[in-house]
Amino acid sequence: MTDTAQEAQQGRAGDRLALPVAEVDAGALRFATSGDTERALGIGAFHVAVPEDLDVRPGLEFCRTFYQPRGDDPTDRHRGHREHGHPASKLGYEDRPDQVEQLQLESFLWQEYLPDEVTAVLRRMRQLTLEILYGVFDAVRVPETDRDLITGGARQDTGLCYTTVNHYRSGLSDRAGIVEHSDSGFITTICTDQPGYEILHEGRWLPVRERPGHFTVNLGDAFRVLTRKLPRPVTAVYHRVPELRPEAGVPDRSSCTVYMGPRYDMPLYQYDAEGNLREYQNFRDFSVKKAGKLGYDFHSRV
Ligand SMILES: O=C(O)CCC(=O)C(=O)O
Ligand SMILES: [Fe+2]
């Protein structure tokens, strides 16, 4: 095989990484081949087709308004989120040290704080994320009977599920778009409007090849810890967005995500080599330590 053909087969051509592709069909996650499943678990990231009847535009449009000052309309939920305070949330708005500014809201607060059409998009993304999570549990053979315990009840929405709405402020120079990190939970589904997402793959940072009409899905630390001693451990993908520069006529990069992980009052779990489930570490302790390593303050309200 030529080098180029080999690289294309491995999903690396022209120094862009082509991720494995899956779809959710009648609630079940399907990769094109079993080789794709293996690659997806090894990379810790893959693409999933956006369902045909899901229009993500209200989500992406909200990424372009949430940080704007609210006008005279006190009921406007599209704008004013920098100043809002979101008192019912333990997360809320954050001005990060990198280019990104973020609004993070738990799923039980979407209806209260977000425009209805944004809540509708996020709820569809949440359902899809749950189906993908269960598909990955199947792939690594996590027994059905353990899943409610491990996730804190992702199916009943009693685990931790939140959205992150990202605005990359291209006007801020000399800083990363979003600094390299792994996500802390089990899984994150990302909807974005522009390239920029990069993965650390075999020791090199590679931009991921865009696949229109697809979400990008990341596997996170909670999955890595859970499966570390199993025959098929999954990778918590290390990812980043490098500094973005302003371009005339091009809006700032946007993304909105749905994240699922353990609640902060729960343990992370891990299977031992015999396949027995053990408590590993309190998830809040794990998260505080990790934020410190990244140079972030951990959410002050959690
Ligand atoms: O904007 C992106 O593509 C990635 C965002 C991200 O990594 C995050 O919100 O954790
Ligand atoms: Fe991330």
What is the CA(179)–ligand 2 centre distance, in A? Answer: 9
Is the overall model pTM greater than 0.90, yes or no?
yes
Q: What pLDDT does residue 265 have?
A: 97
The string of pLDDT tens digits covering residues 155-171 is 999 999 999 999 999 99
Q: What pLDDT does residue 193 have?
A: 94
Residue nearest to atom 10 of ligand 1 (CA): 183
Query: Is the C-beta atom of 255 inside 6 A of ligand 1?
Result: yes
DSSP 235: P
Question: Is the model's pLDDT at 13 over the cut of 70?
Answer: no
Probe ligand 1: pick from 101, 164, 258, max atoms within 8 Å of CB?
164
Question: Is the model's pLDDT at 12 over the cut of 80?
Answer: no
CB 102 within 8 A of CB 168: no
Query: Is the C-beta atom of 269 inside 6 A of ligand 1?
Result: no
Ligand nearest to the CA of 221: 2
Q: What pLDDT does residue 294 have?
A: 79
pLDDT category, 299, cuts 50, 70, 90? confident
CA distance 137 to 120: 26
User: What mean pLDDT comes out for the span 264-291?
Assistant: 96
Q: What pLDDT does residue 34 have?
A: 87
Question: Is the model's pLDDT at 10 over the cut of 90?
Answer: no
Q: What pLDDT does residue 175 have?
A: 97
What is the CA(237)–ligand 2 centre distance, in A? Answer: 9
22-294 topology per CATH: Jelly Rolls (2.60.120)
132 — phi, psi (to 5°)? -65, -45
What is the CA(214)–ligand 1 centre distance, in A? Answer: 15
Q: In the predicted model, what is the mean pLDDT of the chain?
A: 94
Residue nearest to atom 1 of ligand 1 (CA): 255
Question: Is the model's pLDDT at 1 over the cut of 80?
Answer: no
CB 151 within 8 A of CB 144: no
Alpha-helix residue ranges (DSSP H) falling in 140-258: 147-151, 221-227
Instruction: Report which of residues 3 and 25 the model is more confident about.
Output: 25
Residue type, 174: D
Ligand nearest to the CA of 177: 1
* 86 bridge partner residues: none
Query: Is the C-beta atom of 98 inside 6 A of ligand 1?
Result: no
Question: Is the model's pLDDT at 210 over the cut of 90?
Answer: yes
Question: Is the model's pLDDT at 287 over the cut of 60?
Answer: yes
Q: What pLDDT does residue 14 have?
A: 65
Probe ligand 1: pick from 190, 208, 243, max atoms within 8 Å of CB?
190
Ligand nearest to the CA of 60: 1
Q: What pLDDT does residue 11 have?
A: 61
Ligand 1 closest atom vs CA 181: 7
Q: What percentage of the chain carries pLDDT values higher than 70? A: 95
User: What mean pLDDT comes out for the span 298-302?
Assistant: 90
User: What mean pLDDT comes out for the span 287-295?
Assistant: 88
Asked casually if ipTM beats, i.e. exceeds, 0.85, the reply is yes
User: What mean pLDDT comes out for the span 70-75?
Assistant: 90
Q: What pLDDT does residue 139 have?
A: 96
What is the CA(273)–ligand 1 centre distance, in A? Answer: 33
User: What mean pLDDT comes out for the span 130-149?
Assistant: 98
Q: What pLDDT does residue 2 have?
A: 53
The string of pLDDT tens digits covering residues 38-65 is 999 999 999 999 999 999 999 999 999 9
Question: Is the model's pLDDT at 9 over the cut of 90?
Answer: no
Residue nearest to atom 4 of ligand 1 (CA): 197
Q: What percentage of the chain carries pLDDT values higher than 90? A: 90
Ligand 1 closest atom vs CA 192: 3
Alpha-helix residue ranges (DSSP H) falling in the chain: 3-9, 34-43, 57-63, 110-113, 116-139, 147-151, 221-227, 283-294
Backbone region of residue 203 per phi and psi (left: phi > 0; alpha: psi in -120 to 50; beta: other values): left
Ligand nearest to the CA of 208: 1
Counted residue by residue, the chain has a size of: 302
Burial class of residue 290 in the structure, from the number of CB atoms within 10 Å of its CB (0-12 exposed, 13-18 middle, 19+ buried): middle
